[in-house]
């Protein structure tokens, strides 16, 4: 004969189990995972201090070489500064099947189309590419020489400078926006964050 568990004890066990499940569900809704790793409190604080916002709970990928990031399974959503230590980027981060790899991540169809429009449609760009988020250089893996500079390309497709004297000016296009005062230049790719080059100092 099996021993009977007192009713009051069963109530306590069920209440504890319900509390545990509620807590687990709450944690799942508030977790932020990047490259399969949960962000620590310090990492979340760093992102909020650096960019002025915190990502909503969810699963994301981040490319430490280019600074590009997106929702897991999707294309690029924005731009952080490169070299954050947020874990290795998976080849399947965007669930792509285009045959175009950017810093090891295979692009999905939408991002591959965007990639082709930037470089020039009508060509086969399948292969392995690298993108440097500090310089904007884009090239083929195995060759350190960039084929093009993405930042310069964005600027070339932009609207003319607002200041006809060629001094301080800004520009914008469907690819991003930026500006320069002759010494310090910046480029912002749609999303969040920017890259500055030149003599920017602490301005």
pLDDT, one tens digit per residue, over 130-161 is: 999 999 999 999 999 999 898 887 776 655 54
**pLDDT tens sequence across 12-70:** 333 333 333 333 344 444 689 999 999 999 988 888 888 888 888 999 999 999 999 99
pLDDT of residue 181: 56
**Angle at CA 65, nearest 5°, toward 61 and 70?**
25
pLDDT of residue 126: 95
Q: Look at residue 173 and tell me whether its pLDDT is greater than 90.
A: no
Question: Rounded to the nearest 5°, which phi and psi values hold at 110?
Answer: -65, -45
pLDDT of residue 78: 87
The region of weakest confidence among 102-111, 113-122, 166-175 is 166-175
Q: What is the mean pLDDT of residues 63-78?
A: 93
Tokens of 58: 């969810």
Q: What is the mean pLDDT of residues 115-122?
A: 85
Tokens 């952080």 belong to which residue? 80
Question: Rounded to the nearest 5°, which phi and psi values hold at 87?
Answer: 95, 165
CB 74 within 8 A of CB 47: no
């Amino acid at each position: 004969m099996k021993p009977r568990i007192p009713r009051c004890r069963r109530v306590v066990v069920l209440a504890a189990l319900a509390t545990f499940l509620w807590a687990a569900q709450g944690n799942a809704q508030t977790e932020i995972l990047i490259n399969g790793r949960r962000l620590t409190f310090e990492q979340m604080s760093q992102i909020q201090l650096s960019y002025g916002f915190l990502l909503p709970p969810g699963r994301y990928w981040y490319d430490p070489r280019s600074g590009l990031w997106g929702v897991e399974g999707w294309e690029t959503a924005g731009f952080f500064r490169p070299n954050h230590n947020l874990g290795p980027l998976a080849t399947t981060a965007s669930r792509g099947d285009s045959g175009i790899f950017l810093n090891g991540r295979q692009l999905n169809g939408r991002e591959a189309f965007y990639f082709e429009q930037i470089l020039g449609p009508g060509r086969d760009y399948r292969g392995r590419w690298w993108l440097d988020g500090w310089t904007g250089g884009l090239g083929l893996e195995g060759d350190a020489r960039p084929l093009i500079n993405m930042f310069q390309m964005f600027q070339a497709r932009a609207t003319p400078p607002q200041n006809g004297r060629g001094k301080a000016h800004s520009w914008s296009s469907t690819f991003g926006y930026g500006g320069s005062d002759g010494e310090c230049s910046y480029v912002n790719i749609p999303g969040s964050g920017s890259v500055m080059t030149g003599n920017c100092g602490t301005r």
